[in-house]
Structure 1
Amino acid sequence: MDMDPVLLLDMVLRILAAIILGAAIGLERQRRLRSAGLRTNTLVSVGAALFVIVGAIGIQGADADPTRVAAQIVSGIGFLGAGVILRDGLDIRGLTTAATLWCAASIGALAGAGMLLMALIGTVAIIATNTLLRPLSRWVNRSTRLEVSGSMETEDDDGSTDYVLEVVTTDKSEQRVRALLLQAVDRPEYTLRSLDIRPGKSSQMKLLAGVSAAHGGDTGGLQLAVQRISLDPKVTSSRWWPAEADD
């Protein structure tokens, strides 16, 4: 059927707003190397906007109820967010990323409903929460550890920073690359906290080493370790990043 050009332009603007705002949210996750990054958050935002548009404009009649579509978006995103939550030993990782996906869906729903100003304000609030509150969260965690440990807390623990070193290699070369990884992080300024080996795609293995630096910001040894490990022909990729338990 023919569509009013003004209405068509309005829907296009809503979808473009969902793309831009969803990408802005996902960019922060992508920069921090999270499993749900730029494309995932953008797709969630656009998908929510399209569902709202279908419920508000595409479906007409006495039985049409746009609020039911929005309610299904809220519950449906929960299943998608559960896919990025991982159990790492006693820790749970991915909760912040899952919550960000949920928020990205709400931004898309606002954009699809034509509430562009509220969608923009919500996007700023989400990005600010993921960035500006991060130092406060670290300070609270550090203060809690100090209170629990009391006088047993050492000076090195107070200034230490945790990092994750990731190396991807083939299944057959896992043992040799693991020895190379352990040798690379065997330095006086670093302490190996954990070593996790996970199966990857296409007969690949992912090695994750948790490393604690005695002095925060001392990443020269990590850079050198990545360079040395990358020289191995069986190493597909290697990288490091600061460990953040709340993400």
Structure 2
Amino acid sequence: MQALINVNLMELLNSFISLFTAFVLGGIIGFERQFRQRTAGLRTNVLVAVGAAIFVDMAMRTGGDDGAIRVAAYVVSGVGFLGAGVIMREEGSVRGINTAATLWASAAIGTSAGADLILEAIMATFFVLAANTLLRPFVNAINRIPIDAQASELTHVIHIIAPASQRQTVMSDLERMLKAFHYPLAELDITPFGEEEIEIEATLMATSIDEKDMDLLIKQLNQNARVRQAFWSPRTND
């Protein structure tokens, strides 16, 4: 019978408005993500927004503002675990961080809608969409700017392709050359490269490295009869 006692048409209408707002706004954000074929698309963003709105709306009806504040804190931490699930690491790069951040923002919008802050939720939706759309041309323009090794924090990586049978000799040659150039080695990875070759990936410690010296080092490595190919690449520090 408690369920019948809890029925209040005005509060029910208020909850409907909150959940409907979360549904629509989460759908707007999710549509943009779905259009760009992201991991978390339309349904995921809607569910996150509506779910957050349900929790906060329920907390407000049962525990008042204090209850809503406590539940909102749990929503923030809970969505953090959900966002971690869409972040993937592959081939030394990290993907899905923007998707995870969008899910986090969808939860915030749902939380605002659940707390009856409808205009605030609409305003937040505008800014989330602006971040994912209006800022995209600026990001693309910045990414097209060549990396300045002197102005950026970079990790320099040397790649060497060599016969597997010459592994120890090539590693000794590399260590000797790095010592001559005073470049400390931070990490060394060796992976198969075809059936009879290996790739040695030497990551240098972050230090003041001259690109001309790096080119000279690579030139000397390529002159080594035991090295099939050598090159270096900068890697940004995340």
Q: TM-score range by the shorter chain?
A: 0.5 to 0.7
Q: Which residue of 2 aligns with 1:12?
A: 16
The answer to whether the 8 Å contact 2:34/2:42 transfers is: yes
Q: Which residue of 2 aligns with 1:119?
A: 121
Confirm whether residue 40 of structure 1 aligns to residue 23 of structure 2.
Answer: no
CA distance in 2, matches of 1:65, 1:7: 16
- Post-superposition Cα deviations, 1:187-226, rounded to whole Å, max 9, x if no partner, equal xxxxxxxxxxxxxxxxxxxxxxxxxxxxxxxxxxxxxxxx
From 127, 130, 138, the equivalent of 1:128 is 130
Q: Which residue of 2 aligns with 1:72?
A: 74
Deviation at 1:148, TM superposition (A): 4.9
Deviation at 1:88, TM superposition (A): 1.8
CA distance in 1, matches of 2:14, 2:67: 21
Q: Pick the structure with greater CA Rg.
A: 2
Aligned runs of 1:81-92 on 2, under 5 Å?
Answer: 81-92=83-94
From 38, 56, 62, the equivalent of 2:60 is 56
- Post-superposition Cα deviations, 1:218-243, rounded to whole Å, max 9, x if no partner, equal xxxxxxxxxxxxxxxxxxxxxxxxxx
**3-state DSSP of counterpart to 2:94:** strand
CA distance in 2, matches of 1:148, 1:72: 42
The answer to whether the 8 Å contact 2:68/2:115 transfers is: no
Q: Which residue of 2 aligns with 1:25?
A: 29
**3-state DSSP of counterpart to 1:92:** strand
CA distance in 1, matches of 2:11, 2:59: 15
**5+ long unaligned stretches in structure 2:** 151-238
Structure 1: which 4+ aligned runs deviate by more than 4 Å? none
**3-state DSSP of counterpart to 2:89:** strand
**3-state DSSP of counterpart to 2:135:** helix
Q: Which residue of 2 aligns with 1:140?
A: 142
- The number of residue pairs the alignment matches comes to 146
CA distance in 2, matches of 1:81, 1:12: 27
**5+ long unaligned stretches in structure 1:** 150-247
Q: Percent identity between the aligned chains? A: 47
- The one-letter amino acid of 1:33's match is Q
Q: Which residue of 1 aligns with 2:166?
A: none
- The one-letter amino acid of 2:47's match is L
Q: What TM-score, normalized by structure 1, do the two folds share?
A: 0.56
- Post-superposition Cα deviations, 1:170-190, rounded to whole Å, max 9, x if no partner, equal xxxxxxxxxxxxxxxxxxxxx
**3-state DSSP of counterpart to 2:38:** coil
